[in-house]
Amino acid sequence: MTKYELIVVGGGPAAITLAKMLGNKKKVAVIRPEDHSMIYCAMPYAIEGLIEKKKTLKKDELVTDAGAELIRDTVTKIDFDGKNVTLSNSTQLSYEKLVIATGAEPFIPPVEGANLKGVTGFKTEKDLTDLQSTISAGLKKAVVVGAGAIGIELAQALKEAGLAVDLVDMSTSILPNLVDSEMTEEMQAEIIRKGINLHLEAKVVSLDGIEWVEHVELDNGRKIHFDAKDECSEAGAGTHDGIVIFAAGMKPVVDLVKDSPIELGRDGIVINDKMETSLPDVYAVGDCTQFTSGITCGVAP
């Protein structure tokens, strides 16, 4: 069994930062299932055509040039007592210290129809590739749920790509709790000027269709259709011409440890100000964690 001083489970920004800090000082392995790590905030610009897809990918050399070993595989089990991890091919690797950096994934609410084709998040390389392919195949319309920074950028990118776009958020304004009302009013006016249909104080209550999503029902009684029945938006050319993308928050990826002794909170793995979990020699970093802010004393993901 190969032994490492440090094993990092996950390949996102937090894992890469650790590799760069410690790769030349200790024997470090970074284990991730994905072919590439993504620059998440750059993905909308690839949809718009401002950058090539390859510009959204983090280079593996960020890990390997730092002296760490990059292992493309999935950790299926962690033995915290024996201090080892098991990969999908049954290989076991032992560690002195373990860092969990599994990140977060888009939150898709458990509404009726959430499992229909054409309903997706927007975080991974596959999400980007699939969306680009669907647009190339004739996608006419998109509903983006979530008017935070990524949701707004994605809605604009889809509009620039030639789609009819609806942007939905349950808050009273875009970018809730981030900017003041004067600025949001100007930004909302610009969004509408660009031809994006903005639905505020609206929540998705159901997604309907047979196999592919055909319309979105909001809690204010409005329905956004992907055909000529649409009452409030530009119409697509058919019932398979629309897509719903959820960009309304993330949920921590903690399935690997949910049945372990590690303490979990509502927003992820509970850590202290040293990024220690409730188990010795086990740390957690990044979007999979929950901590108490030293500034506000509140719990934050």
Alpha helices in 53-175 (DSSP H): 61-64, 125-136, 149-160
Q: Give the torsion through C-alpha atoms of 147, 151, 154, 156, to 10 deg.
A: 10
Strand partners, 7: 29, 98
pLDDT score for 297: 62
For every residue of 258-294, DSSP letters joined together read TTSSS-EETTEEE--TT-B-SSTTEEE-GGGEEEE-T
Give the integer Cα–Cα distance in Å for 98 and 77: 13
Q: Give the torsion through C-alpha atoms of 226, 231, 232, 237, to 10 deg.
A: 30
pLDDT in single tens digits along all 301 residues of the chain: 899 999 999 999 999 999 999 988 999 999 999 888 899 899 999 999 999 999 999 889 999 999 999 999 999 999 999 999 999 999 999 999 999 999 999 999 999 999 999 999 999 999 999 999 999 999 999 999 999 999 999 999 999 999 999 999 999 999 988 888 889 999 999 999 999 999 999 999 999 999 999 999 999 999 999 864 444 444 433 446 899 999 998 999 999 999 999 999 999 999 999 999 999 999 999 999 998 776 666 676 6
Give the integer Cα–Cα distance in Å for 152 and 156: 6
**Topology match between the domains 2-104+251-300 and 119-246:** yes
Domain limits of the chain? 2-104+251-300, 119-246
pLDDT score for 157: 97
Helix (H) / strand (E) containing 22: helix 13-22
What are the tokens at 73?
Answer: 């595989």
Give the integer Cα–Cα distance in Å for 194 and 156: 8
Fold of 119-246: FAD/NAD(P)-binding domain (3.50.50)
* Inter-residue contact 290 to 18 (CB < 8 Å): no
Closest CA to 271 of 285, 281, 253: 285
pLDDT score for 295: 66
Closest CA to 85 of 1, 202, 194: 1
Helix (H) / strand (E) containing 87: strand 84-87
pLDDT score for 241: 82
Give the integer Cα–Cα distance in Å for 119 and 236: 16
Per-residue b/e over 133-171, b at no fewer than 16 CB within 10 Å? ebbeeebbbbbbbbbbebbbbbbbbbbbbebbbbbbbbb
CA gyration radius, the chain: 21
Active site residue ranges:
41
In Å, what is the CA distance from 245 to each residue of 49, 121, 166? 18, 5, 10
Strands 204-209 and 268-270, by their bridges, are unpaired
What are the tokens at 211?
Answer: 């196999």
CATH class, range 2-104+251-300: alpha beta
Planar angle of CA 188, 194, 196, nearest 5 degrees: 70
Strands 37-38 and 119-120, by their bridges, are unpaired
Give the integer Cα–Cα distance in Å for 37 and 56: 9
Give the integer Cα–Cα distance in Å for 110 and 142: 20
